[in-house]
Structure 1
Amino acid sequence: MPLPSKTDLLAAHGTTIPDVIGPGTRILFCGINPGLYSGYTGYHFARPGNRFWPALHRAGFTPRVLRPDEQYLLPQWGLGITNLVARATARADELTPAELREGGALLIRKLREYRPALLAVLGITAYRRAFACPSAVIGPQEEPVAGTPVWVLPNPSGLNAHYSVDGIAAELRRARTACDSLPE
């Protein structure tokens, strides 16, 4: 796929990407919302520089670093991806608090339908707003969502300078270990 032009990216505003989720999902990763690059490509975490795919591999979830267009492989390892808000934007701060709360309600319906063992939310600020947990921190959360244990992870966007790929991978590894101890 050719690199998108500025016009291509602007045209991706408001587009949506299908979830990667199905029966047998053990860990459901939940992003905030797709960026314009992801909206353009149709793949989650597609922007060059996004650290999701390298961190996922370094944490031991995948046998190699996957490309975003290989997201269809995730279900074979019990992994899925969704977003709190479906529409693509240039920045997550374009989302309204109401959209995040509505996204949280939709996520609850997905959790009840697919019953993953663990919900891994990629982005502390979005989690705090969507679930009205202003003091939440990175790591396991005290309250499950729809009966599903929750682990909040750093946002893997290249714009999040607080965490390196290795730092994100370390948090992903902790979530993976916790999930391994949960019942099937």
Structure 2
Amino acid sequence: MTPKPLQAKTVRDYIRTIPDFPHEGIMFRDVTTLFADARGMRLCVDQLLAPFAGDRFDAVAGLEARGFILGGAVAHQLGTGFVPIRKKGKLPGKTFEQDYALEYGTATVEVHVDALQPGARVLLVDDLLATGGTAKAGIALLERLGAEVIGCAFVVDLPELGGRAALEQMGMPIHTLCSFDGA
């Protein structure tokens, strides 16, 4: 009997869904299972970069925390530096801060004031695009540094939450690898 050929997996196939986390009614899209698989991680990084082939980047910026994992891998692949955009109080040097809205209040992200040179061309990377609040705050910080955000790349899009539309209204090119219905 001839063995059945292996079916190619998509990035979406590596992501598990955990119901009712962190709150009842939430379907949590867990990318740690994607990160744990070498083929899945390679596929993810390659696909995050695909639409930007031929573009020149000076840096990749990643949003805390899973954006650090992806952003570091993408920066390595591009041969560029990596800029972390962190939650308030986590960076040791002088920072710029940006508030953004949450369902239940506000939060703040920061970047070092000397993280980039003016005119730097940057790709913003994160694991998930929901409302777009964190990404919008990250873009605002990068622009405050004088950087040009060339595009944004995300693994998962939750289209019902409107993040893509919010970023596109800012003129941002958005690339996502998969989407899930529901929150």
TM-score of the pair, normalised by structure 2: 0.34
Point out the structure with the larger strand share. 2
TM-score, normalised by the number of residues in structure 1? 0.34
More helix by percentage: 1
Q: Which structure has more RCO (C-alpha within 8 Å, separation ≥ 6)?
A: 1
- Structure 1 or 2, whichever has the larger Rg, is 2
